[in-house]
Structure 1
Amino acid sequence: MRFVVVTGMSGGGKSTALKMLEDAGFYCVDNLPVSLVEKFAELVSMPGSEVSKVALGLDVRSDQSFEDATKILESLKATGYALEILFMDADENVLIKRYKETRRVHPLALDGRVEDGVRAERRVLENIRKNADYVIDTTDLLTRELKEELDRIFVENAEYNSLMVTILSFGFKHGIPSDADLVLDVRFLPNPFYIEDLKHKTGLDKEVQDYVMGFPEAVEFMEKLTDMIQFLVPNYVKEGKYRLVIAIGCTGGKHRSVTLAGELYKRMKDRGKYGIKLHHRDVNKQGK
């Protein structure tokens, strides 16, 4: 039997993940009292049980100690249960924004301040996050992308590490992305903006892609960049990094950066056991 415990930060996407696992054939139970977790595990594991895949949602509540839940999970593992822990997370500012948008009260915000509740919860969940089998950061994750990640882990049973790579194109005139880990400047390449037939197209169009990649410098740059990223990613994984943002910028974020970001995505998407997505921040903005 596959037994998955879904936990994480409130607002991190736990409920959404449980719904997706249910769609994938898991028998899902959410918000089960901690005192009943062991009994639940015994019942679903009884001989003759038709349940083969279980997902149990556990979260922080102000009226119970999460340390009790952690001890119970450790006890179940010691007893022989093959538990897998999925931890749903997101940046603090995003969690606060999600709470404020829904006007919900955070379970640990006793004085009503969401910020304090989020920080207290992160302290409480620190150990279980460190020991989780899977950590999915939903800060910039679309619902479709979350489903792809869950399918990769729990349906396709692919080998998994917690790194999510985002390849991001942008324009320097609109500012460097604040969350970028690596920033690459491709303004050394000729600008399609000055070619009349390409001026109003973008790096999503084949004509622009052919123009940009038609320069030997662009091809050599892409080969060297791909080699560097392939070297860096396993080392980031080894150090426990769970999010990597590779930002590729040109002047306006419409032509060169979009082309090269797309090319890097194509080269990287099937080469590693990590999540990867592509985003063009400024492709629809005005300018060169």
Structure 2
Amino acid sequence: MSEPVRPLLIVVTGLSGSGKSVALKTLEDLDVYCTDNLPVELLPEFVKSVAGDGRNMARMAVGIDVRNASDLARIPEWLSAVGSLGFDYKLVFFDTRDEVLLKRYSDTRRKHPLSHGGLALADAIELERLRLRPLQAIADLVMDTSEMNVHQMRRQVTTAVGVGTTRGMSLLFESFAYKRGLPADADFVFDARALPNPHWDARLRPLSGRDAAVREHLDQDPVVQEFVAHVQAFLENWVPRFEAETRSYLTIAFGCTGGRHRSVYLAERLAAHCRSHGREGVLTFHRELE
């Protein structure tokens, strides 16, 4: 008889701008209980609190930022304490080359968390590497995201981190705007531009396909529901065939003009349909919203 699966704590850390937030959002989509910016010395108390409050969380993830990692030399001690509580743990370190980080910060115009007191961005990155070196040295998995875009990161987290309960192929439902081009990694692309556009309703224009008012509007349109039914039938027929070929993931993309209303609605609607039929590892990504 095999031993019972122990609950799992995933510690997500690494360089700022390397994809930690994307990783936590992906794990959250996989029903992992997530929290960010937890002081590292509180790891054992966090696990004890969540596991003991009746929520029966078998999978947790915490994000550790360079600003709250007060005594990294004691990380093994705190992880050992987590293990003594009956948890397995996995430390995942996100890394990115310096030149890529510099470009990402330039593109987003965000401040580095250590760029205080006039510290140049390149120097802040170097200081962060130095401070996080003890974590990288003991990481169970180091993930280099230098050549990855956001949805490639989500795929990598889903397939490489492994949360222990997802069975079968992972599905990523993505929305996008045609005016910004097709997603590079889409396996199937469905064009929603022929559907009625909520953009022309002034009440709905500032909203997105994730908002209730837009969902209700599109739920009531028979043309949209015919489109949904056809896509559902297509996926129900073909996804199992790809899964039988031992594919580990499949990306289904929906495009519309602006990537805010119809495509987002369809991605969320089809993802919910798959989850309601018992499929695990179903993710969503909205390129123009995130």
- Structure of larger gyration radius: 1
TM-score with structure 2 setting the length: 0.49
TM-score with structure 1 setting the length: 0.49
